[in-house]
Amino acid sequence: MLRSHLLLAWRVLLRRKAFTAVSLFTIAATLLVVTTASALLQEMFGNRPPESRLERAVGVLVLGMYGEHRGISSGAGYGFLDGHLRDLPGVEETTFFSFPSKVASYSGDRKQRLTVRRTDGAFWRVFDFRFLEGGPIRAEHDRDHEPVVVINAATRDRLLGTGEAVGRTIELDGRKFRVVGVVANVPSARLLVSADVWMPISATRGEAFRDEYVGDFHAVFLAASADDLPAIQAEVDRRIRLAKPPERGYDELHGGADTKFEAFSRLMFSPQYERAEPGLLRAILMTLGVGFMLLPAVNLTNLNLSRIAERASEIGVRRAFGARRRSLVGQFLLESVMVSLAGGAIGFLLAALALGAINRAGLVPYADFRLDLAVGGWTLAAATLFGLLSGVWPAWRMSRLAPATALAGGSR
């Protein structure tokens, strides 16, 4: 039965090639945008190396300090993290590391602006970088204030040229650092870990940062099991509530242990970082996606209605021979979904070309936007939804034609 419905749908679509071509173009253009946006979101929030263990990790990624008449919001301060968030129960690894910052470096007479992060030794166990040379910064490097760095492949090529980089020195912000490792380039869309250079926390100029409660640091807690995450989040929330800021005029801290997506929602919808709103952010993204597809779906509905109306006599014959309305609705929806899936496949291929062009253009440093199974799943779901949205009204309307009216060629 399904095979016969598919063959019939295929013949009907080929019967009016102009209608089918316009439908395919509309669907492909719409799903090109939807698929590209899904790939960008997947690159930002998905579990991809070096952030491939995030399904069992949460972090204090934003933090605010507030009083009756003032407030400061940014990342966490190293002083707060070091004093309050070590030795959490259920945590396998705890890492503190800084926001990215820009420093100057010189290669001959050329000035380079490099992105630098300061990390501890645990950072390299929480995140799984691919080392091309050498190894990571270790805890003893940080403890002994050793001037060492890990650099990415692009920085190696710019500053050191060819040959082995490990053991050689580079100049950063007027200081010499010894290279201990080289890693593959990390796309800047990997928001937690991307940089050109990683150095020990102890390489920071000055010691004032060690007392800060709000500053330019993140903390990430890698749980032994994903089942431990709710308890870890509850304990972090408790410690944040109990902590008292040392600065005068400030009474409380606001923040929590979040996933990247939760932290982004806290940043967007909670002015004082009181709570994360992942459900709201997810609803907005889904509403935008469906809303973006709605107008093309309305236009496609009119096309489908015109295409089906031309088959009024066929509908009349099938009704006269006892075809049920449910069968007719199913047939028309199948045709609509088939066109949408074909348009989705074209849109998917166009999105792959668009993402490749973005990667080559260098608009995003070290960009590696690509399509994977998750994005393919979203495209399939969007194409199916698109077919249903644009096909259900014409299918329902034409299936309700009286046999006599349909046989006379009427469509009302």
Q: What is the CA radius of gyration of the chain?
A: 29
Cα separation, 334 vs 10, in Å, equals: 10
Residue of 75, 73, 96 lying closest to 85 (CA atoms): 96
pLDDT at residue 34, rounded to an integer: 83
C-beta of residue 167 within 8 angstroms of C-beta of residue 195? no
C-beta of residue 361 within 8 angstroms of C-beta of residue 36? no
C-alpha separations of 229 from 19, 92, 299 in Å: 52, 11, 46
C-alpha separations of 324 from 82, 308, 314, 318, 382 in Å: 71, 17, 14, 9, 29
Question: Which pair of tokens denotes residue 309?
Answer: 């109306």
C-alpha separations of 251 from 65, 81, 187, 245 in Å: 8, 17, 39, 6
Q: What is the pTM of this model?
A: 0.82
Name residues whose C-beta falls within 8 Å of residue 160's C-beta, 6 or more positions apart in sequence: 168, 170, 179
pLDDT at residue 335, rounded to an integer: 72
User: SS3 letters for 160-209?
Assistant: CCCCCCCCCEEEECCEEEEEEEEECCCCCCCCCCCCCEEEEHHHCCCCHH
The phi, psi pair for 320, rounded to 5°, reads -65, -30
pLDDT at residue 71, rounded to an integer: 93
Question: Which pair of tokens denotes residue 235?
Answer: 């304990």
Q: How many CA atoms are closer than 13 Å to the CA of 109, on its beta-carbon side?
A: 0
pLDDT at residue 370, rounded to an integer: 84
Residue of 139, 39, 2 lying closest to 369 (CA atoms): 39
The phi, psi pair for 343, rounded to 5°, reads -65, -35
User: Where do runs of H (alpha helix) occur along 321-402?
Assistant: 325-361, 373-399
pLDDT at residue 383, rounded to an integer: 79
Cα separation, 217 vs 358, in Å, equals: 30
C-alpha separations of 120 from 57, 93, 187, 257, 333 in Å: 17, 11, 21, 19, 57
Q: Write the DSSP string, 113-144.
A: EEEEEEE-TTHHHHS---EEEE----HHHHHT
Q: If you search the block for the tokens 């030795």, which residue do you land on? A: 87
- Residues in the chain where the model's pLDDT stays below 70: 1-20, 299, 302-331, 393-412
pLDDT at residue 293, rounded to an integer: 75
C-alpha separations of 364 from 151, 196, 361, 367 in Å: 18, 13, 8, 5
Cα separation, 165 vs 156, in Å, equals: 7
Cα separation, 343 vs 302, in Å, equals: 17
Q: What is the DSSP letter of 64?
A: E
Count CB-CB contacts under 10 A for residue 291: 9
Cα separation, 53 vs 77, in Å, equals: 24
